[in-house]
Amino acid sequence: MLKISPEKGFKTELQAPTAVLVTRRVTFAAAHVLRRPEWDDRRNKEVFGQCAGDHGHNYVLEVSVSGEPDPATGMVVNLKDLDRAVKQAVVRHVDHRHLNRDVPFLEGVVPTAENLALVFWRQLDGQMGSGHLQRLRLVESENNSVEVTR
Ligand code: NI
């Protein structure tokens, strides 16, 4: 017969420290166009559709770091520091910019959501203070998002 002991389950949970995932959400607005300069208009339109013309998005960027809460503060990472790091490494470079022209770390990159997420990951990795970058989600529109995980 199966015996359920809530008290025992509770204890086990507390005794086994596991990493906690903490997520910060930031937003930015940016313009982009999806096209390869070496392709003609027809091929660019075929592959990239409507995105082959200039347009913009209100992006949402979610950055998740993992770690164990500091016993003194109860925090994996101070959200103020995480917010500052994300703004320093990514947002201040891309907000209200044209992603094809204005951002040195995106030079030569077709700014699809996939590529942006990968480049943002590189910008952020190692900049997360006491937490470890674990997941990054970039929402491009209501219907599209991409996710990079370690
Ligand atoms: Ni687009």
- Ligand 1: centre distance to CA 56 (Å): 6
- CATH fold, domain 19-149, is Tetrahydropterin Synthase; Chain A (3.30.479)
How high is the pLDDT of residue 81? 92
3-state secondary structure at position 143: coil
In three state form, how does the secondary structure of 19-84 look? CEEEEEEEEEEEEECCCCCCCCHHHHHHHHHHHHCCEEEEEEEEEEEEECCCCCCCCCCCHHHHHH
Residues 130-146: what's their mean pLDDT?
Answer: 94
Average pLDDT score, the chain: 90
Active site residue 114: no
pLDDT at 11 over 80: no
How high is the pLDDT of residue 13? 52
Residues 40-47: what's their mean pLDDT?
Answer: 95
Please report the DSSP string for 86-122 in residue order. Answer: HIIIIIHHHTTEETTTS-GGGTT----HHHHHHHHHH
Rounded CA-CA distance 52/124 in Å is: 28
Enter the pTM of the model: 0.85
Asked if 96 and 62 touch (Cβ cutoff 8 Å), the reply is no
- Ligand 1: centre distance to CA 52 (Å): 8
Q: How many CA atoms are closer than 13 Å to the CA of 93, on its beta-carbon side?
A: 18
Residues 84-99: what's their mean pLDDT?
Answer: 97
Active site residue 147: no
Model pLDDT for residues 18-41, shown as the tens digit of each residue: 789 999 999 999 999 999 999 999
pLDDT at 79 over 60: yes
Instruction: Give 14's pLDDT tier (boundaries 50, 70, 90).
Output: low
Task: Write out the H or E segment, with its range, that includes residue 7.
Answer: helix 6-15
- Which one from 32, 51, 57, 93 is the annotated catalytic residue? 51
**Structural domain spans, the chain:** 19-149
pLDDT at 130 over 90: no
3-state secondary structure at position 13: helix
Active site residue 96: yes
Asked if 56 and 96 touch (Cβ cutoff 8 Å), the reply is no
Instruction: Give 3's pLDDT tier (boundaries 50, 70, 90).
Output: low
